[in-house]
Structure 1
């Protein structure tokens, strides 16, 4: 499947945890969509909606949802989280338990509920040896929700969602999962994880475009979320424009107020078709082999691994620190040598995918060696 990716051979793309490249089929899907639009306008609109339906089906399969109609398409993860946060019926004194080191989207949205008397309680992962137990320990009788990322964006720590989900369901606490750093990298099982809400943008490990995200709301909660956005698309009879009475759609479309992003839909559906052909178990096996190899290269050099070493605690992110060096200094030097990576959590974050060549990993580390050697020579 490496022929699906046409990355410049001089580029070491190790940044799927930020924005992933599109496979050939996604580029082709968007090109065909644009050319059809230029020649025929919206003549094929019903066919475009068929692609949208296939996308919902693929996303439902990806997380293990029962029906495609359980999947809403949001603009991004932040919007999806906002739909949940500002739709739930809160009571003053309620609290939400999360993680201090979360990406801002998974902090700001919960902090924004302060004017409703809702408190966000944050676990400091740097002081936790058992994050699931410590998250649970932060809960009390006023805890309504645990809201966490499946995989932490900086350290790459993967939470045990099965353990959290079982406790939440047994204790009538909601579980909201930001799955953006895991979906497309390794299998997700909604039945085992028992999440009430799942959100994820498509532009990272799912290899799709920005501007399109998954929003899953457990059907029992769908009609209990207060809607804050309204428009023609979210009503039950969305095609009957002359109808003056309306009710929100009974399925997840109720969370989609306006016209769909059909350009993004064509790209993401095509990208997910690639993952489906390979199978998520195989995608994960290949990605794990690459992260294992990368960790080996880090260990050989005596660098400090910041990502958990245990395989069950990792996904596709590998973050490390070079002793005696600043990541803030090394990062721009790596980027200048076309090693596409990130500076996160006090270290350098490399995030390959299932198709990344092992040679790409080795070349990136050799380029880092060169940078360090040049620094030594200049002393």
Structure 2
């Protein structure tokens, strides 16, 4: 594997990630380490706050708006269509409890979804909403979803990349089918945005959401909620406060209206500390470039896969070559994956136990040394964990 560095970017991003000198960090699909620029942004904001409090509050508002603009750029969204939210689950709840459901309405999801994209829809049972789970067959992962869309459900909610297997769906194909059938389309984009190009205009989704603490390299507690402007008025507002009105700075007015854009989903004061950090990380990602990041991640996944194949690993996602994502999940016959995961963590290989296997998820900055350390650790541990 060759280290990817684009001299046209004008900077060497490798110094941004000291984590690669400390451990073999292969867990970006869970919680990512921050880059140095995010740490510096938080330090600078904290230093200013300690010395001056909110003296420069107008600058905070500009930083907040800049974060929204960078998020819109990241997902190719029109201006004013992105709200800042606490997490993916909150945004999914805005959709689930914003739509005017009728008894008999159907929500279609896959049988591989993370709990957040299942529980929220199941919670609508008392409104007469039915949740239909469809399989994702590996010979044609979208086939059963497309057949379900032909039945005209109210909404399809799907993860762009499945959290356990790493299966990457053709969301453009799903989105086109939903738009043609008049079906609302919601994407849990947390395992995609920041790891690969993602365009809400190209995939024709109505709603998309993601936390910032995975592939976007930000802190926990801050993410985005995209709403297609044409369907924004379909969602009833569930939270109210000073920040989500059209004239948010006019505290004396007795008349108010919802903000005309996605800020209507932001009821109160934003998480400025996390906002400064996430914005610094996004600017780094945009500077490197999503096509370059996607390529670098695929290169690292292939390197790991090649090494694991020599150890006779079994992969959860047989389409990893055709549809590479940032997730590579595997197991070994006759070896307890939970025990293997615990032992890997103890040796400094930071990964996850998902889907009955070990999940590796490197980012674009992950060094070859970190990958080699993980493979060498696995090779040395396997004989010790074999049943006697």
Alignment of 1:160-175 (within 5 A): 160-175=170-185
SS in 1 for 2:304: helix
Shift, 1:142, TM fit: 4.8
Shift, 1:110, TM fit: 0.5
CA distance in structure 1 between the aligned counterparts of 2:321 and 2:216, rounded to whole angstroms: 21
CA contact (8 A) 1:78 1:105 kept: yes
1:86 to 83, 97, 102: 97
CA distance in structure 2 between the aligned counterparts of 1:149 and 1:308, rounded to whole angstroms: 18
Partner residue of 1:56? Answer: 68
Alignment of 1:187-336 (within 5 A): 187-336=197-346
Partner residue of 2:127? Answer: 116
Partner residue of 1:364? Answer: 374
CA contact (8 A) 2:111 2:134 kept: yes
CA contact (8 A) 1:298 1:305 kept: no
CA contact (8 A) 2:149 2:177 kept: no
CA contact (8 A) 1:94 1:142 kept: no
**Structure 2: runs of 5 or more not aligned:** 1-12
**What do residues 7-61 of structure 1 show as CA deviations (whole Å, max 9, x unaligned)?**
1634110000000000000000000000000000001111111111111111101
Shift, 1:357, TM fit: 0.7
**Structure 1: runs of 5 or more not aligned:** none
Partner residue of 1:180? Answer: 190
Partner residue of 1:9? Answer: 21
RMSD in angstroms over aligned alpha carbons?
1.3
**What do residues 88-115 of structure 1 show as CA deviations (whole Å, max 9, x unaligned)?**
1111101011012211100001101111
Shift, 1:129, TM fit: 3.2
Partner residue of 1:350? Answer: 360
SS in 1 for 2:197: coil
Distance 1:188 1:322, change over 3 A: same
**What do residues 96-138 of structure 1 show as CA deviations (whole Å, max 9, x unaligned)?**
110122111000011011111111100133x553221111222
CA contact (8 A) 1:307 1:317 kept: no
SS in 2 for 1:199: strand
Distance 1:91 1:149, change over 3 A: same
SS in 2 for 1:78: helix
* Runs of 4+ residues deviating >4 angstroms: none
Count of residue pairs the alignment pairs up: 376
Using the size of structure 2 for normalisation, the TM-score is 0.94
**What do residues 202-228 of structure 1 show as CA deviations (whole Å, max 9, x unaligned)?**
000000010011100110111221111
Alignment of 1:13-32 (within 5 A): 13-32=25-44
